[in-house]
Amino acid sequence: MVLDNIEQLLEKYENGQTTLKEEAQLKDYFSQETVAPHLGHYKAIFGYYLVNQQEAFTKTLPLQTKKKINFKWLSVAAAVVLMVGIYFNKPNEDVITDQDRLAYNQAKSYLELVSKALNKGTTQVGYLDALNKAGTHVDYLKEMENPIGRILKINNQ
């Protein structure tokens, strides 16, 4: 009786007409120790399916939560920062106090004093010009040598 039922189910099974429930029934039957000998090969088939249902994925998943930095946007951000920096970084106009003015005037007068003294020094050095003039006068002595040379030439002849 049970065997009849199973054989019927097997026929339906091969035609692809069994429901999942009926297929479970078949799997149940063929997972028994003893089945009808002429259906022995089905035991292997259903046994294989049952065994294969238990295989599991054991590898771990490397799930990254960190987002990669997008360098395209990084450059945009850098440009914006640069522009903002230039805009707000205009040199400040300092307020000039009386004290600053006093220091400025003092420094100016000292510098004038130094330059006056320096000018005095340079006028005295100006006498050196006379020395140069004298030097040029001495150059005329060379012209004396030329005629002397000529006279010597004539003597040798």
Partner 1 sequence: MTQSEFLKIVTPFKDKVFRLAKRLLVSREEAEDATQEVLLKLWRNKGQIENYKNVEAFSMTMTKNFCLDKLKSKQSQNLKIVHNNYQDHTVALQKQIELNDSMQWVAKIIQDLPEQQKLVVQLRDIEQYDFDEIAKMLDMNPTAVRVALSRARKIIREKLTSTHNYGVR
> Which residues here bind partner 1, judged by CB under 8 A?
13-17, 20, 23-24, 40-45, 47-49, 51-59, 61-63, 65
Q: Which two tokens stand for residue 74?
A: 């990084």
Do 22 and 9 contact (CB within 8 A), yes or no? Answer: yes
Q: State which residue, 59 or 153, has the beta carbon closest to partner 1.
A: 59
Q: State which residue, 4 or 55, has the beta carbon closest to partner 1.
A: 55
Do 6 and 29 contact (CB within 8 A), yes or no? Answer: yes
Do 58 and 42 contact (CB within 8 A), yes or no? Answer: no
Q: State which residue, 54 or 124, has the beta carbon closest to partner 1.
A: 54
Rounded to a whole number of angstroms, the minimum distance from the CB of residue 69 to partner 1 is 16
Rounded to a whole number of angstroms, the minimum distance from the CB of residue 34 to partner 1 is 15
| Beta strand residue intervals within 14-79, DSSP E | none
Rounded to a whole number of angstroms, the minimum distance from the CB of residue 22 to partner 1 is 12
Q: Which two tokens stand for residue 53?
A: 């249902």
**Rounded CA separation 150/87 (Å):** 84
Rounded to a whole number of angstroms, the minimum distance from the CB of residue 55 to partner 1 is 6
Q: State which residue, 63 or 152, has the beta carbon closest to partner 1.
A: 63
**Rounded CA separation 32/3 (Å):** 13
